[in-house]
Copies of this chain bind each other. A is one copy, B any other.
Amino acid sequence: MKEKLSIVKIGGNVIEDEKALDIFLTAFSKLEGLKILVHGGGKLATQLATRLGIKSNLVDGRRITDKATVDIITMVYAGLANKKIVAQLQSKKVNAIGLSGADGNSIQAHKRPVKDIDYGFVGDIDGVNSELLKNFLSINLTPVFCAISHDGKGQLLNTNADTITSEIAIAMASDFDTTLYYCFEKKGVLLDINNSESVVKYINTAKYKELLSQGIIADGMLPKLHNCFHALENDVEKVCLGDDSMLDKNAELFTTLTL
């Protein structure tokens, strides 16, 4: 039987809120068994850019990562956010180790090719160094990833935290019984977008197709759910989707996805 591994993506809104972060990290610290945490930097990066007078460059709602922006992201994601989380987890007796994709060559990527839009220093993932992560887990370290990868040629790359999470989960799934937890601002997949309690508790492939055809999964949920099923189709056992209270052992209202 494979050992259990939980891979948790923390919600962006939590990073900015000291009290919410503390509650979340306490719940994470109580999660039994092997675990990995992935985080972005929430609005902290935009706040720092604004304070430094660097304009965010958005095309079709997507951020263009120029040289100044990749520096800011490195400061906020790999520096401030990552080290605060690691230090706080240490205080909760979790032996956390903070990582960008460059550290230990843990996440290899390439700069997204320019088609219609040049996204700048944005990385598409080529591989995850699962041997390194297995070694860390075996000596009881808990990896804490920020949303940065690297190209192996010295360039750091801004990379979607949801994608990093699912790629790590997929890379670990052959060795571990892997559950993926996506924390975000909602309690799960909602039947009625205006009713935050209308959570669909279980979704399998058939239900997923049904919800898609009914237009219940739409907009921002489309890539999120696509990401979840991509992980499930690649040997990840289970995906849970909910708000930051999901890790609490008494949590009931969240969405569980299986094939």
Contacts and interface: CB of A to CB of B under 8 A. Distances in A.
A141 B148 CA distance: 19
Nearest to A156: B87
A104 B86 CA distance: 9
A4 to B, nearest CB: 22
Interface in A46-83: 48, 51-52, 71, 74-80, 82-83
Interface string A134-164: 0100010100000010101111100000000
Contact of A91 (B84, B95, B153): B153
A96 to B, nearest CB: 7
B80 A102 contact: no
A102 to B, nearest CB: 4
A82 B91 contact: no
A258 interface: no
A255 interface: no
A78 B84 CA distance: 11
The binding surface of chain A is classed by DSSP as helix
Nearest to A77: B79
A154 B87 contact: yes
Contacts of A105: 90, 95
Contact of A80 (B51, B74, B98): B74
A85 to B, nearest CB: 9
Nearest to A108: B90
Contacts of A77: 79
A97 interface: yes
Nearest to A154: B91
Contacts of A86: 100, 102-103
A141 B139 CA distance: 15
15 contacts: A48-B75, A78-B98, A79-B82, A83-B100, A83-B102, A83-B148, A86-B103, A88-B154, A91-B152, A91-B153, A91-B154, A95-B105, A96-B104, A98-B100, A135-B139
